[in-house]
Chain A
Amino acid sequence: DAGVIQSPRHEVTEMGQEVTLRCKPISGHDYLFWYRQTMMRGLELLIYFNNNVPIDDSGMPEDRFSAKMPNASFSTLKIQPSEPRDSAVYFCASSLGDRDTQYFGPGTRLTVL
């Protein structure tokens, strides 16, 4: 079984550029979570979806961040324009609503120069 798939695994970009991170959740899972991990702030929940609908985006740091889930098998997290302080590892996770485990992808390491 394929786990959660994220792409790209590494992204280096310059300040001001648009960045798009992609996620394919585990087939059949109805919850999808986007997290950001940094040394200073640890693991932060940015936004999560249930059945492709955004439920809570209170963790999105500012309007430069947006996330979409056009269908059950694909989600994107977009940063426009990117800033150096956005440098972090971004994780996508999925779960089956009435089950307990969140399954994490391998993450995307973003570096904004």
Chain B
Amino acid sequence: QQQVKQSPQSLIVQKGGISIINCAYENTAFDYFPWYQQFPGKGPALLIAIRPDVSEKKEGRFTISFNKSAKQFSLHIMDSQPGDSATYFCAARFHSNYQLIWGAGTKLIIKP
């Protein structure tokens, strides 16, 4: 019940296309859903995050869509650029202890 399932494991998208990464969870005690971006040789860094009281959050080319009833959330990258090539992690946090439960990661490659 503590798992966050992320898919796909890897994704190749043409420059200018839309990249979509999906995550699903079971535990309704999660209250915060961030996406982290990790470049090779670096630590993960927060990209965008959402709380379950909203269905969508947009920051520039990055959008999180959240479906509370389905217990799913997804990251959409519009107009994908080669600089977006990275590994993306979704996560979910327990309100009670601030612990993040991480998805397995998606390696995104944007082809020029």
Binding site for B on A (CB under 8 A): 4, 31, 42-43, 45, 48, 55-56, 91, 93, 95, 97, 100-107
Contacts A/B (CB < 8 Å), 26 sampled: A4-B43, A42-B104, A42-B105, A43-B89, A43-B102, A43-B105, A45-B100, A45-B102, A48-B99, A56-B97, A91-B44, A93-B43, A95-B98, A97-B98, A100-B46, A100-B49, A100-B93, A101-B34, A101-B49, A102-B100, A103-B45, A104-B43, A106-B42, A106-B43, A107-B41, A107-B43
A105 touches B97 (CB 8 A): no
Tell me which residues across on chain A come within 8 A of B45, comparing CB atoms: 103-104
Nearest CB on A from B17, distance (A): 26
Chain B interface bracket (under 10, 10 to 19, 20 to 34, 35 or more): 10 to 19
A4 to B43, CA, bound (A): 10
Contact status A100-B43, CB under 8 Å: no
Q: How many A-B residue pairs have CB under 8 A?
A: 43
Q: A56-B97, A100-B32, A100-B49 are in contact. Are A105 and B43 (CB under 8 A)?
A: yes
User: Shortest Cβ distance from B82 into chain A, in angstroms?
Assistant: 23
A55 adjacent to B43 (CB under 8 Å): no
Given contacts A45-B99, A102-B100, 20 further A-B contacts (CB under 8 A): A31-B98, A42-B102, A43-B44, A43-B102, A43-B105, A45-B100, A48-B99, A55-B97, A56-B97, A100-B32, A100-B46, A100-B49, A102-B46, A103-B45, A104-B44, A106-B42, A106-B43, A107-B41, A107-B42, A107-B43
